[in-house]
Structure 1
Amino acid sequence: MNNPSKTQALIGVGIMLIDQNQKILLGYRNKKNEPATWCFPGGKMDAHESIEYAAMRELLEETALDLSQDVESIQPLNTIIDQNSDAVKVTFGTIYQLSDESLKTQICVTEPEIFERWEWFNINELPQPLFPETDVMIKYYLNQPQDKGWAIYSIAQPK
């Protein structure tokens, strides 16, 4: 019999929200039976979803921020493979530049069993510890060296 962890695939998406002051939105994730970390909104992709739609849906579910009228502005950033995991874990990183500061007023905790709060941070002054995929996305965005065990693929923008 196959070991389920060897055949299971986990496909996720994360969204880096950047405001006009170049601050990023992070949630304090304090989910039962997991170490507490700071992370981007994100989660598992559903069948038949595009990367951008999955990012928009997860953002809405976790923060109440609705970008459904602007989903085409969510840009693919990278593809991340966690090579340390027993399962196949792939995360699609996305990015969205917040052009309307008033949208921040929509953000709230919608899943208190997972998140305690959402806060904006200067990208060079981040809280610790970061959720592993969030850390990878930030280092990629800042062009910083990555820890071992991650395969990161750039997503070329259409010309």
Structure 2
Amino acid sequence: MLLALDKSLKDLSVIVRYEKRLEIAKPKLEEFFEWCGSLTEHGKLGTAITYALNQKDSTMNFLSDSRLLLSNNIAEHGIKSLVVGRKNWLFFQSFDGAHAVASILGLLETAKINGLHSRKYLDYLLTHLPNRQNTPLEAYLSWSPKVQLESR
């Protein structure tokens, strides 16, 4: 229910979303945690209830800033390629090789999050970075306006 509510509010302004969350979601969350606190279950259900109660502060925190997401699906999706390749990376010949791959994957994931085409962004970096003279590195980050223009 909360995920559906949050999805329905995604196109609203930050202020309106904040007010709607307080109006609709806060009472539901308070009711849920009060209900959890009234139970004295044991076994797996008791473990689940204890887990929910231990996450109360973190869950309620999403009400304090309407830019926060209730779900971590975006982060999970972002690290999926790392998890899939984890077994393959056990056999790197050196720490430097593993570090290089981690750096490149970090760049690619950041590019994706910022709406860039990964290949175009890498091409841009490999073309422009070797020729940079006094340009600060910040100019080559994926959210830089010039990079955004040339790597979409």
Q: Which has the higher helix share?
A: 2
Instruction: Bin the TM-score by the shorter chain.
Output: under 0.3
Q: Which has the higher strand share?
A: 1
Q: When the two structures are superposed, what TM-score results if normalisation uses the length of structure 2?
A: 0.25
Report 1 or 2 for greater relative contact order, CA contacts < 8 Å, sequence distance ≥ 6. 1
User: Could you say which structure has the larger radius of gyration?
Assistant: 2
Q: When the two structures are superposed, what TM-score results if normalisation uses the length of structure 1?
A: 0.24
